[in-house]
Amino acid sequence: MEKHRQLNDLDFKEQFKNTILDPTLFSHEAHIRLAWIYITNYNVVTACELIPGQILNFATKHGDPDKFNATVTIAAIHIVDHFIQKSESLNFQDFIAEFPRIKYNFKKLLNSHYGFDIFTSKKAKLNYIEPDILSF
């Protein structure tokens, strides 16, 4: 089980936002959870406005700003939003169980939208690039 789940949604969001969350807790699943929290509590636009800066701040505070990738972050938010629109889940744990491919096949989901490697592209790391295969 992912240890970030030991925190309720509000504590998780606030600890992350304030860069005091233990960085070992910010796994891929935790990244997806952050998107889920913002989308379900606000909307996808707000999530896209707030999350990238928070992730960059978090990565910078914990000594690894090169981990931030603007395109991966925004794309992940859109992918999570897509599945939220289809979801019947009322909490994140049920959501990730309902759509496990978000957790286990994330790169494959991204590859259905992008014809190039957004993980290694310097341009994609710095600025969000719209999908070139399938839009969100």
Convert the pLDDT of each residue in 4-49 to its tens digit.
888 999 999 999 999 999 999 999 999 999 999 999 999 999 999 9
Residue 134 lies in a domain: no
pTM for this prediction:
0.94
Whether the Cβ atoms of residue 125 and residue 71 lie closer than 8 Å to each other:
yes
Question: Which segments of the chain are extended strands (E)?
Answer: none
- State the residue range of the domain holding 39: 8-126
- Looking at residue 4, the DSSP 8-state letter turns out to be G
Residue type, 70: A
Q: Which of 55, 66, 69, 71 is nearest to 21 (CA)?
A: 55
- What is the domain count for the chain? 1
Region 55-60 average pLDDT: 96
Structure tokens at 80: 């999570």
Residue 1 lies in a domain: no
Residue 91 lies in a domain: yes
Question: Which segments of 6-114 are extended strands (E)?
Answer: none
pLDDT digits (tens, 9 = 90+) for 59-86: 999 998 888 999 999 999 999 999 999 9
Residue 51 lies in a domain: yes
Whether the Cβ atoms of residue 104 and residue 122 lie closer than 8 Å to each other:
no
